[in-house]
Chain A
Amino acid sequence: MTLVKFTGLTLAALVVTLSVGCKHGPKNITQIPGGNSNVRGNGGLLDTTPGGRVGGGGDVVTVDGDGNIGLAGLDEFENMLMDREAFAAETVYFGFDRSEIHPDDDGKVGAVASALAQSPQNKVLIEGHCDERGTEEYNRALGERRALSVRDRLVELGVGADRIRTMSLGEDRPADPGFSEDAYQANRRGEFVLLKPKS
């Protein structure tokens, strides 16, 4: 109880101080650090610098198990010419939120496999795309899963895993910018880009 009384008195003193403060205008001045543009720390204005050049990096990838075939290192695909026309007719399409290749499209994957078999110097990039009816990061992963499904089928058809690169673009590169079912169907796709060595 003594403690309570003591604290009570302290509070009373504090209150008196505050009341006095009010009557005579604000005395409790808070100094905000810094000037208009160069305040540091989380509380300040952002003094930002745009991103500079990015140095090298990236390792050659090692393969591991769990039923997943590891991807070849990006180095394997450096300095190759991209040909988007060669396989333009072989674009495969996916069901909503699905990543399995539709049986109707299997012939297209077969055609790409045959072409690659005849030109062992060439490689392929598979781009996975989505419609806009998924969240952005979910679509980024779904697009990769689609590209990987196509890649796995190519490997089954005899194309070396080290000749295939995948890249998901999520919903960022729609084939059709519309909002109809037809547009969505056109956007859920896997595109093949032929990679040829520079001669």
Chain B
Amino acid sequence: MRKSIRHTFAILAAVLGLGQALGQAQNEIDVDIFNTGEVKAIPVHIEGFTGEILSLLKFDLFVQGFEFVDRGKAQFTIKGSNTGGSVSGAVYDHLKRGFVLNKRYQGGNLRLQGHTFANNVVETITGSPGIGLTKIAFRQFHGRNTEIHVADFDGFNAKRLTSDNSISAGPDWAPNGDTLFYYSYLKHNPDIYSHNIRTGQRRTVARFSGSNISPAVSPDGKRVAMVLSKAGSPDIWVASVNGTGFRRLTTTKAAESSPCWSPDGRFICFVSRAGGRSALYKIPANGGAMSRISTVHVSNATEPDWSPDGKAIAFTTQRGGRFDICIVPSSGGSAQVLATGEDPSWALNSRTLIFTNRSRGKRVLSVLDVPTKRVKTLPRSFPGNCSQAAWSN
């Protein structure tokens, strides 16, 4: 019945020349990221924008499934301007023959306005949330040491967060975006800290003998999963974010690594060598038995990250020094190799990944649009090698 109503709408709209009415129907595009065939990028034509804002819009849209074509081949034309200190933009739908978005932006700065317009374009055309205003936290190499840095997701406005002259690594965002968790050898042992990025206040979350590494904050922001070796083997543990109530979840002799949470907070996915080679497992966050998440066609899985919509797990397969980004349904099954690289982190749209590309010691952050399998390196590069990017909400 709903379908027939929508059909009636379509006709009604067409008869009355109401192209815009279909804007809503378009919001129901559900991109299947497991589609093994080629998913086509949405062809758009951009006109009117210049310089920095044009580059910004092209990057934002590219990594969310758009491609840029001549007006004659475009499904949508994105036109506007960025003169006079403000961005304005509109989207014309060539199929529906009408404007589906028309906005002007004030305040903030030009880049914020540009990212906000890009978000509006993405939300209008695809119905998915835009990622233009998200941040990344990552590890940057400074000689022998590494520090935690944060930046806009495209690499602009980078800020250095730690200056400990030590190894700091493994950043993860608390869901509120105010606090980062990471580990650092600041006190001559890899210990886990929480760091309020507004106030600079740091707290020790885990400092036990051995490894205290790979913190992952739960979706409700209340708990942190991590790897501790204090019991004599690298195991998955969970504690309150303030560093109390530690609970050991795995008890294998083998090494476990890289915990991440299911978006409903019920499970923790991680890597274990319990079965010989490294593979993905999950375990109830409140304790229970660990079970395999199969990755058919792909072995030696590491570094899982569960997509915010719960459907997929992205991970790295390692093959003797070569790394590939893969995805698998979160229930396990057929895994798909997407691109060369390692350590993927999902954006909030559950379609874009940020990851590290490594080649002979050089490490660069890149972004991958999963359905179209297209990769772009960040437009703003950093002075040192970078890795372990974590994407904010």
Contact B303 A18 (CB under 8 A): no
Q: Which residues of the partner chain B approach A73 to less than 8 Å between Cβ atoms? A: 208-209
Contact of A61 among B106, B160, B230 (CB under 8 A): B230
Name the segment of B40-48, B60-68, B187-195, B282-290 touching the other chain: B187-195
Number of contact residues on B: which range applies?
35 or more
* Smallest CB gap from A82: residue in B: B188
Q: Which of A125-169 contact B (CB under 8 A)?
A: 132-138, 140-142, 144-145, 148, 152, 165-169
Contact A18 B99 (CB under 8 A): yes
Interface status of B321 (Cβ within 8 A of chain A): yes
Contact of B162 among A12, A36, A51, A168 (CB under 8 A): A51
Interface status of A173 (Cβ within 8 A of chain B): yes
- In the complex the two chains form, what is the Cα distance from A41 to B393 in whole Å? 11
Contact A46 B211 (CB under 8 A): no
Contact B21 A138 (CB under 8 A): no
Interface string of B183-219 (1 = CB under 8 A from A): 0001111110101111111111001111101100000
* Smallest CB gap from A155: residue in B: B232
- In the complex the two chains form, what is the Cα distance from A76 to B198 in whole Å? 35
Interface status of B257 (Cβ within 8 A of chain A): yes
Interface string of B158-179 (1 = CB under 8 A from A): 0111111001011000000100
Interface status of B308 (Cβ within 8 A of chain A): no
Q: Which residues of the partner chain A approach B177 to less than 8 Å between Cβ atoms? A: 41-42
Contact A31 B106 (CB under 8 A): yes
Interface status of B256 (Cβ within 8 A of chain A): yes
Q: Which residues of the partner chain B approach A41 to less than 8 Å between Cβ atoms? A: 177
Contact B360 A179 (CB under 8 A): yes
- In the complex the two chains form, what is the Cα distance from A50 to B343 in whole Å? 25
Query: Interface size of A by Cβ–Cβ distance < 8 Å?
Result: 83
Q: Which of B103-139 contact A (CB under 8 A)?
A: 103-109, 112-113, 116, 120, 133-135
Contact B232 A69 (CB under 8 A): yes
Interface status of A19 (Cβ within 8 A of chain B): yes
Interface status of A115 (Cβ within 8 A of chain B): no
Q: Which residues of the partner chain A approach B377 to less than 8 Å between Cβ atoms? A: none
- Specify which of B134, B164, B202, B255 lies most central, judged by the most chain A CB atoms within 10 Å of its CB: B255
Interface status of B302 (Cβ within 8 A of chain A): yes
- Specify which of A29, A33, A71, A136 lies most central, judged by the most chain B CB atoms within 10 Å of its CB: A136
Beyond A14-B20, A32-B116, A135-B342, whether A45 also contacts B204 by CB under 8 A is no
Interface status of A119 (Cβ within 8 A of chain B): no
Interface status of A103 (Cβ within 8 A of chain B): no
**Secondary structure type dominating chain A contacts:** loop
Q: Which residues of the partner chain B approach A11 to less than 8 Å between Cβ atoms? A: 9, 13, 18, 20-21
Give the shortest distance, in Å, between A155 (CB) and chain B (any CB).
10
Give the shortest distance, in Å, between A135 (CB) and chain B (any CB).
5
Interface residues of A (CB under 8 A from B): 3-4, 7-8, 11-12, 14-15, 18-19, 21-22, 26-36, 39-59, 61, 63-64, 66-74, 76-77, 96, 99, 132-138, 140-142, 144-145, 148, 152, 165-169, 172-173, 177, 179
Interface residues of B (CB under 8 A from A): 5, 8-9, 12-13, 16, 18-21, 88, 90, 98-99, 102-109, 112-113, 116, 120, 133-135, 144, 146, 150-152, 157, 159-164, 167, 169-170, 177, 186-191, 193, 195-204, 207-211, 213-214, 227, 229-234, 243, 248, 251-258, 271, 273, 278, 302-303, 316, 318, 320-321, 323, 342-343, 360-361, 387-388, 392-393
> Can you pick out 28 interface pairs between chain A and chain B where the beta carbons lie within 8 Å of each other?
A11-B9, A12-B21, A14-B20, A18-B98, A19-B98, A28-B102, A35-B107, A43-B133, A45-B152, A46-B135, A48-B159, A48-B197, A53-B202, A55-B204, A56-B204, A61-B230, A71-B209, A71-B229, A71-B230, A74-B207, A99-B255, A132-B361, A135-B316, A135-B342, A138-B318, A145-B234, A148-B229, A166-B211
The 8 closest A-B pairs by CB, nearest first: A68-B232, A49-B200, A32-B108, A57-B204, A133-B321, A58-B207, A141-B257, A71-B209
